[in-house]
Amino acid sequence: MEKKFMWPALMSVAFATLLQIGVSLHPYSGYKSPPLFGDYEAQRHWMEITFNLPVNSWYWNTENNDLMYWGLDYPPLTAYHSYIFGVIANVVNPEYIALNTSRGHESYNHKFFMRASVILSNLVVYVPALFWFFSSKLVIQNFSDVTSCYFAFFVALMYPGLMLIDNGHFQYNGVSLGLMVAAVTSIFRNKDVWSTIFFCLALNYKQMELYHAFPFFCYFLGKCISLTRHSFGLCCQKLAIISLTVISTFVIVWFPFLSSLDSVLQVIHRVFPLDRGIFEDKVANVWCSLHIIFKLRNSVSNLALAKTCLVVTFVAILPSSINLVAKPTLDKFLLALINSSLAFFLFSFQVHEKSILLVAIPVVLYHHNDPFMCSWFLIVSVFSMLPLFVLDGLVTPAVALLVAYTLLLYLLKYLSIDQVFSLPYSKSNYRVNQKVRTKSVSRASVVCVDLFKASVLGCAILADLFIMLKPPIRYPHLFPVLISLYSCIHFVFFLVYFNFKQIFMT
């Protein structure tokens, strides 16, 4: 099966890489925008710092490391990744990472180097992880033939959100997300130790992988509890192996920083800053939407907001987590990844608009089980980042890729009425007349398709208004706020839907 899948997959990867190169030709975050520039400069600066300074200076404010100028604020694995490309950059052209004198470097050759580093990182981590997932037997058995499995892999590769953020805006999300996909695939292949290692690596690359932490924890906990039916000793052995794997992986990754408690605390302080506020820019989450009416950031302290976010987020992920512990199946696990990450996006502290990718990739993995609703979510997820794309000068590739992706989903009939998930019926309703049930499901499917069409029409109208018209002088952020609010309403709906599906329909 994997051999038949190989050549079409390679062609898909080649086509996706061409699209990434096309997106890479456009501007990036902070292009010609001194003095801080943007995420492009942040990634370049981290290469400069990690290459030129000793490890014990990477996260500390020093004469040669001004933390106010894009100080390193991701876990150690990101720093090591920056160091590797810093070494390569020094070989290619030392001016790219010259200490203190390379700030804002924007030459054409450097842009080529940076863009290539993203593509290479994704080809090494994210793409193989996706291929590994879609070529696993437990995934393939859900498809009627290899062709259907190939199309699912192709749809996953073509998702515009990751391309536009990594290859346009400029980041390396494919690394952490690829490690997370590898962790998921390891579970599907019954390799729990490798799953633990991969997820710990993902978490040590980007702290936002905490969005996915509860489903992994709950799945392993539920699996261990289920072992008690056969042997309590076997359960304890499984817990011990997973615990030791987590501890060992963290010790290896953090080893250079374990020389003192202050060093560890400084890294943690940099990775989890409270002073940035509850959200940045216009984010399609609940707090940003509430901020329209009640100015949270002006009325409540950051610490109080952080505590509120912690409680609300925990409550939001609780139903999904409890359900997964009680019944740790693979379908429930994928849905729990969606529900947990979406709850974090909607309710947690310090959310970026780009964090929707942490929800989108689990949706991509689950897409073949619920094509219509997942396709709808993926379209809205890209639309929700439109204000960021406009800011970065990425309107043309964003609109082109989103329209093309929507057409692709239509051509594959993932957005047809036949793909709308049937409504569930409890055991007590099984004896209801089959014709009545079929008729009800058909009506629900029609309504769902109509809602989707209205949703996409709303996206198109808001996008046109934002791109074509100037906002009123009194409300300069009118259109980004409307886009965020409109997207947030969708995401709340999807959170309810996917929770309902996990708890009652799988």
Q: What is the mean pLDDT of the chain?
A: 91
Integer-rounded Cα Rg, in Å, for the chain is: 23
Q: State in Å, rounded, how far the first CA of the chain is from the last one.
A: 27
For the stretch 138-188, pLDDT in tens is 787 777 677 788 889 999 999 999 999 999 999 999 999 999 999 999 999
Is pLDDT above 50 for 364?
yes
For the segment 10-22, the average pLDDT, to the nearest whole number, is 95
For residue 424, report the phi and psi dihedrals to the nearest 5 degrees: -75, 160
Q: Which residues, other chains included, contact 463 with Cβ-Cβ below 8 Å and sequence gap of 6+?
A: 383, 386, 399, 483
Helix, coil or strand: residue 42:
helix
* pLDDT given for residue 3 in this prediction: 62
* pLDDT given for residue 150 in this prediction: 86
For the stretch 421-431, pLDDT in tens is 644 433 434 34
* C-beta neighbour count of 38 within 10 angstroms: 18
Q: Which of 9-18, 219-228, 292-301, 408-417 is predicted least confidently? A: 292-301
Confidence of residue 438 (pLDDT cuts 50, 70, 90): low
Is pLDDT above 60 for 436?
no
For the segment 62-74, the average pLDDT, to the nearest whole number, is 93
Helix, coil or strand: residue 108:
helix
pTM for the predicted model, two decimal places = 0.93
Residue with the two structure tokens 């995420």: 39
* pLDDT given for residue 443 in this prediction: 77
Residue with the two structure tokens 């949703």: 455
For the stretch 34-60, pLDDT in tens is 888 999 999 999 999 999 999 999 999
Helix, coil or strand: residue 400:
helix
Q: Which residues, other chains included, contact 204 with Cβ-Cβ below 8 Å and sequence gap of 6+?
A: 75, 76, 77, 249, 250, 253, 254
**Beta-bridge partner residues of 279:** 351
For residue 22, report the phi and psi dihedrals to the nearest 5 degrees: -60, -45
* pLDDT given for residue 422 in this prediction: 46
* pLDDT given for residue 308 in this prediction: 92
Is pLDDT above 80 for 2?
no
For the stretch 283-328, pLDDT in tens is 999 999 988 888 777 778 888 888 999 999 999 999 999 999 999 9
Is pLDDT above 50 for 266?
yes
Helix, coil or strand: residue 62:
strand
Buried b / exposed e across 197-221, counting CB within 10 Å, b at 16+?
bbbbbbbbbbbbbbbbbbbbbbbbb
% the chain with pLDDT above 70:
94
DSSP string, 167-208: IIII--HHHHHHHHHHHHHHHHTT-HHHHHHHHHHHHHH-GG
**Three-state SS across 317-350?**
HHHHHHHHHHCCCHHHHHHHHHHHHHHHHHHCCC
* pLDDT given for residue 200 in this prediction: 98
Give the HSE-up count for residue 454: Cα atoms under 13 Å, Cβ half-sphere. Answer: 8
For the stretch 467-490, pLDDT in tens is 999 999 888 889 999 999 999 999
Domain spans in the chain, listed from the N-terminal domain onward: 273-420+432-506
Task: Express the helix, strand and coil content of the chain in percent, nearest 5 each.
Answer: 75, 0, 25
